[in-house]
Amino acid sequence: MRYLLTTLLLLSAVALQAQNTVEKWGCAEITFTHVTSGNPFDVTLEATFTNGDKHLTVRGFYDGDNTYRIRFMPTEVGTWSYSTRSSARALNRQKGTIIATEPTEKNHGPVTTEGLGFRYADGTTYHPFGTTTYALSLFRPEIQEQTLQSLAKTGFNKTRFCILPKDYPTTHDAPTLFPFEMISKSVDAEGKTVYEWDFTRPNPTFFQNVDRRILDLQKLGIEADLILFHPYDKGVWGFDRMGEEFDRKYLEYLVARVGSYRNVWWSLANEWDLVRTKKYEDWKTLTEIVVKADPYRHLCSIHGGSAVYYDYHLPEYTHVSFQDEGPLYTMTAAGTMRQIFRKPVIADEIGYEGNTAMRWARWSPQFMTHLVMNGIMGGIYVTHGECYRDTSREDWVYWSDGSVLRGESWRRIAFLRKLVEEAPNPIRPADISRDEQTSTAGEGYFFVYLGQQILRDWVFNLPDSNSHFKRIQEGDHFRVEIINLWDMTIEECPTIFEATERINYRHYDKGHRMVQLPEAPYLLLRITKVAR
């Protein structure tokens, strides 16, 4: 009798709490109340959503306070009916409908790949301009808010951050929330704090904060590149050594919670090779768990230590996410990366702008901008990171963990993003491995990057090869804009140039005319065909 009552209460709860109408690629949530005498996290729950011949199955999850939730992202407009399956009879065979409406203006859906680039589900091209805020959801709330405010002023549309707590010399802020229920905390004979966790009981408060931060980013138009494991625990808490069973449970719990948020990407690890508790092949297993649990097939990759590459050809990895500054030293080396993988490539760590004692974080803002530009010219994408120590604060935190931007490259990257988005096609080398400074974005649309040199003038010349786009024809006219990446200015060259026929693989101006340059480094020429 008591059981029946609970069920009835539960059904009314469902009716009350389900958002029955949600926009396409929004997140519908169905809530159930259920009391169990066992571990509530052991209750299995999933639902299949059906709209015509489309079927999507998502897992539900326990969110504390006798509350179970199923989240669902409709991928089509229309009526989705659902039916649940659960090990708890009260949660089993629950049925209902979700109505998905047209998406609102800023909702383009999840990002997916397209050839060697990316697009949103609605077809809009997406060029990742990411940054790194490892501890975004881990520091105390005011720093989390600060980070989000800082992010809002930038041009970044992706950020990488860790789900699990991070212990690192640059992180002078201990986590206040933990992902699992703490059984005990004690100090051992050597004075080290020893934690004991119940890995069968995730901490809903911890994960609710993760949810919130992902949605905060979503409002800012920023993709959340979630780092699922990392080597920065080093046994302090032990979340890097939970073992196969609890790694799986953790991943499935997380995917159930946040997998229906459209701006989620999976990054299996940061510096996978430095996680001493997992072997090479383990990462394949962990990746398969995530991909299997995710019916939407969010973007998925894995990030290694410096110049350590994983098996990016595996079908689970939608794109390459590497750490290595080497391929960014020249646009040619970046272009090689584009050629090898047959997938989109993101250089997700190339060192950081900053002033640390550690060599991985002491690029000048100019050089950081230069590396990003080399990547863009080479047809790949590059993620920003910044590590300036603010010596005026005792509790200093680097931007790369989250807080406040102090550097200077981020503004240039925002400027660069606009240039990339204005181009008619994704940028790539015009004449791969042969021309080390010219890229193309289509017929009659070129970029020439003059890099760190300071030149007075530039003789108009472009390659005949033009990736797979139509080549220059004799008599084509071109305007040249002189873009100063550092000053973020665009100046038009007064001359209109007229292309010669192909001469030794290139086209020159018929009058051998030059572009007069301001004597500054980091100049980019945008050269576009004009009618004449």
Binding stretches for a copy of itself (CB under 8 A): 306-309, 311, 313, 324-327, 329-330, 332-333, 335-337, 339-340, 342, 359, 432-434, 436, 504-505
Beta strands in 64-166 (DSSP E): 67-72, 78-86, 95-101, 111-114, 117-120, 125-126, 130-132, 158-162
Tell which residue, 57, 106, 41, 104, has the closest CA to residue 77.
Answer: 104
Yes or no: say if 165 and 237 are a contact pair by the CB < 8 Å rule.
Answer: yes
* Shortest distance, position 471 Cβ to a copy of itself, whole Å: 16
Yes or no: say if 379 and 344 are a contact pair by the CB < 8 Å rule.
Answer: no
* Shortest distance, position 249 Cβ to a copy of itself, whole Å: 31
At residue 279, the 3 state secondary structure works out as coil
219 versus 276: smaller Cβ distance to a copy of itself? 276
* Shortest distance, position 429 Cβ to a copy of itself, whole Å: 9
Burial 432-466 (b: 16+ CB within 10 A, else e): beebbbbbbbbebbbbbbbbeeebeebebbbbbbb
d(CA 446, CA 442): 7
277 versus 336: smaller Cβ distance to a copy of itself? 336
* Shortest distance, position 491 Cβ to a copy of itself, whole Å: 31
333 versus 414: smaller Cβ distance to a copy of itself? 333
CB neighbour list of residue 167: distance below 8 Å, 6 or more residues apart? 232, 233, 234, 236, 237
* Shortest distance, position 370 Cβ to a copy of itself, whole Å: 15
The token duo for 377 is: 């010219």
d(CA 110, CA 25): 7
At residue 162, the 3 state secondary structure works out as strand
* Shortest distance, position 339 Cβ to a copy of itself, whole Å: 5
DSSP state of 391: T
* Shortest distance, position 280 Cβ to a copy of itself, whole Å: 10
Tell which residue, 104, 103, 53, has the closest CA to residue 80.
Answer: 53
331 versus 416: smaller Cβ distance to a copy of itself? 331
* Shortest distance, position 219 Cβ to a copy of itself, whole Å: 37
7 versus 336: smaller Cβ distance to a copy of itself? 336
* Shortest distance, position 408 Cβ to a copy of itself, whole Å: 23
44 versus 433: smaller Cβ distance to a copy of itself? 433
Instruction: State the sign of the Cα–Cα–Cα–Cα dihedral 296, 302, 303, 309.
Output: negative
At 119, the amino acid letter reads: R
Run of H or E including 55: strand 54-62
Q: What is the DSSP string of 267-332?
A: EEESSGGG-TTS-HHHHHHHHHHHHHH-TT---EE---STT----TTSTT-SSEEEE-SGGGSSHH
109 versus 327: smaller Cβ distance to a copy of itself? 327
d(CA 66, CA 69): 10
d(CA 236, CA 234): 6
143 versus 430: smaller Cβ distance to a copy of itself? 430
Sheet holding 28-33, edge to edge: 21-23, 95-101, 78-86, 45-51, 54-62, 67-72, 28-33
153 versus 313: smaller Cβ distance to a copy of itself? 313
* Shortest distance, position 325 Cβ to a copy of itself, whole Å: 5
CB neighbour list of residue 204: distance below 8 Å, 6 or more residues apart? 62, 63, 64, 65
241 versus 284: smaller Cβ distance to a copy of itself? 284
125 versus 336: smaller Cβ distance to a copy of itself? 336
* Shortest distance, position 156 Cβ to a copy of itself, whole Å: 24
